[in-house]
Amino acid sequence: MAEKSDAPTPTVIADDIHITYKVQSGGRTREVHAVKGVTFVAHKGEAIGLIGSNGSGKSTLLKAVAGLLPPARGHLYTQGQPSLLGVNAALMNDLTGERNVVLGGLAMGLSHRQVRERYQQIVDFSGVDDKGDFITLPMRTYSSGMAARLRFSIAAAKSHDVLMIDEALATGDAAFQRRSKARIAELRAEAGTVFLVSHNYRTVTETCDRALWLEAGTLRMDGPAKDVVAAYEAHTKPKK
Amino acid sequence: MTLTSTPPAHTPAPTEPAAPTVPTPSAPSATDLAALAARHGLTASGARPSLPAYTRLLWGRRHFVTAFATARLTAQYSRARLGQLWQIMTPLLNAAVYYFIFGVLLRTKDDIADFVPFLVTGVFVWTFTSSTVLAGTRALTGNLALVRALHFPRASLPVAYAVQQLQQLLFSMAALAVILCCFGQFPRPSWLLALPALALQSLFNTGLALIMARLASRTPDIAQLMPFVLRTWMYVSGVMWSVGHVLRSDRVPHLVAVALQCNPAAVYIDLMRFALIDSFTAARLPPHVWLVATGWALLTGVGGFIYFWQAEETYGRG
């Protein structure tokens, strides 16, 4: 192990973690072994992309790191409280965008005062009001892009020690994607470590310097983002 | 430099030339990692906080709890034309139905003085408890996505559901005040007793919601069973009849009589009737009624909170 002084500070240590889900189907309870013995150390200042095919356990792993799905076996150590960038589940479609901003902010743990202070910033960032007074209408009346933009804006209103982003970059139109990319960069600067799950490999190579490749719940490869993405793409390319 | 820790067994070289995996300084063993975590002050993720810390966390989320409750209450009628007017119309219509069936058709009103106020008070107070119990069973199971997405003390959810039912009851109480006045029961000082009665019942209900939330998160089938349990509970709680009337006859065994009188739902209903209705005098209340009401509230409220906290880290799992 390198000298403590110049060694990077670890923020997340996953030590051989296994995660199982219980699934009720009919009368039987089945256990799904979603993550099977993954070990890695994430450091301060890193942006780590998680790649792998659907159902390879990427999102499950993020939820475990966030402390939302306790690992069945293995140990997980984190600095502070890692958070998922996502607030969708707290929002209610029947309520106005206005009230959802407040509700979502409070759900993420902001205080009443912080929500009030950031309210205008969130609304402006989302651009929901650009084409008229939409923020006072129920969210169910929004177009899907508009709703996604507001959700992202609420979620991105808070900075975190360890931030995890699950496919959040692909929302909204081109202008909003530019803005959200800039905001992610800001969040990354504020956060110690950023994890990003994405199927867009350009995003991963552009935003991350390191990548983990998960396949069927096991860690297939861990290294510089460019190399891992290249290996993954070569692997998934249809064979002739 | 990153630590690569993929066991060799898991890196079957893909068909391509082996990707340049970052050279591993030394495969970290479990003890190394634990030591590394300890050296940098990293803590185990998702551990359950102590009871006092948990209580402080929950208190810190009080604004979320009330905002969530109000949001759910508002969303309920947001698609209806009359909107929030339904908050007060629903209890009024309920009362009208009960009056029609029990007052006009069955003529139960001949046995009990001030039957309509008696009945409507009973129905509203009972509905507060029963709907809080039902809401409690859904507080976690109906919000799994939320539990799996954000950090907050999970007790926020059952408590928010209980708060929502309390808000709903306050609308019903406004309707009740109108009904009482229509039937010649005008506001008087004893109406103030409704406040402590309601406070105790709210604490009792919140405890029940917490207990039901934990039970239903482990055994979702409880949600299917609850309507039957609640219907039985309603029939023994004297919602539409008077427990006192039945007990006056000597046919009821002593133990059953005591059980009927200590039934928390019956106690809270009778306290509310005592507060609001002239002819419902102290003589019609069971013995030590305030003591029983407080005992149930504290036992269920505090006990339910501790019971819920004990499984905090398991919620949202599987």
pLDDT tens, residue by residue, B235-244: 888 887 787 7
How confident is the model over B156-185, as a mean pLDDT? 92
How confident is the model over B132-136, as a mean pLDDT? 95
Closest residue in chain A to residue B9, using alpha carbons only: A220
pLDDT value at residue B63: 94
Residue that wins the pLDDT comparison between A230 and A158? A230
- Does B36 contact A86 at a Cβ distance shorter than 8 Å? no
CB contacts of A230 in chain B (<8 Å) are 19
pLDDT value at residue A171: 63
CATH topology of domain A10-80+199-236: Rossmann fold (3.40.50)
How confident is the model over A48-53, as a mean pLDDT? 88
Give A71-112 pLDDT, tens digit per residue. Answer: 888 888 888 778 777 767 788 888 889 999 999 999 888 899
Query: Regarding beta strands A47-51 and A73-78, do their DSSP bridges make them parallel or antiparallel, or are they unpaired?
Result: unpaired
Q: Apex CA B159: angle with CA B155 and CA B162, to 5°?
A: 150
Torsion of CA A34, A37, A43, A48, to 10 degrees: -40
Assigned CATH class of A85-194? alpha beta
Residue-averaged pLDDT of chain B? 84
How confident is the model over B180-201, as a mean pLDDT? 91
CB contacts of A10 in chain B (<8 Å) are 36-37, 40, 42
**Dist CA B131 CA B138 (whole Å):** 11
Beta-strand ranges (E) seen in chain A are: 10-25, 28-43, 47-51, 73-78, 83-85, 162-166, 193-197, 210-215, 218-224
Under 8 Å between Cβ of A138 and A168: no
**Dist CA B215 CA B107 (whole Å):** 41
- Does B19 contact A78 at a Cβ distance shorter than 8 Å? no
Instruction: Quickly tell me which residue has 């969210």 as its tokens.
Output: A139
| Amino acid, single-letter form, for residue B177 | A
Query: Regarding beta strands A73-78 and B43-44, do their DSSP bridges make them parallel or antiparallel, or are they unpaired?
Result: antiparallel
Residues of chain A with CATH 3.40.50.300: 10-80+199-236, 85-194
Under 8 Å between Cβ of A159 and A187: yes
pLDDT value at residue B147: 85
Structure tokens at B67: 């905002």
Name which of B47-51, B99-103, B126-130, B289-293 the model is least confident about: B99-103
Q: Is the pLDDT of residue A29 over 80?
A: no
Asked if A79 reaches chain B (Cβ–Cβ under 8 Å), the answer is: yes
Give B278-289 pLDDT, tens digit per residue. Answer: 888 888 888 889
Distance from CA of B296 to the nearest CA of A (A): 31
Give A70-80 pLDDT, tens digit per residue. Answer: 788 888 888 87
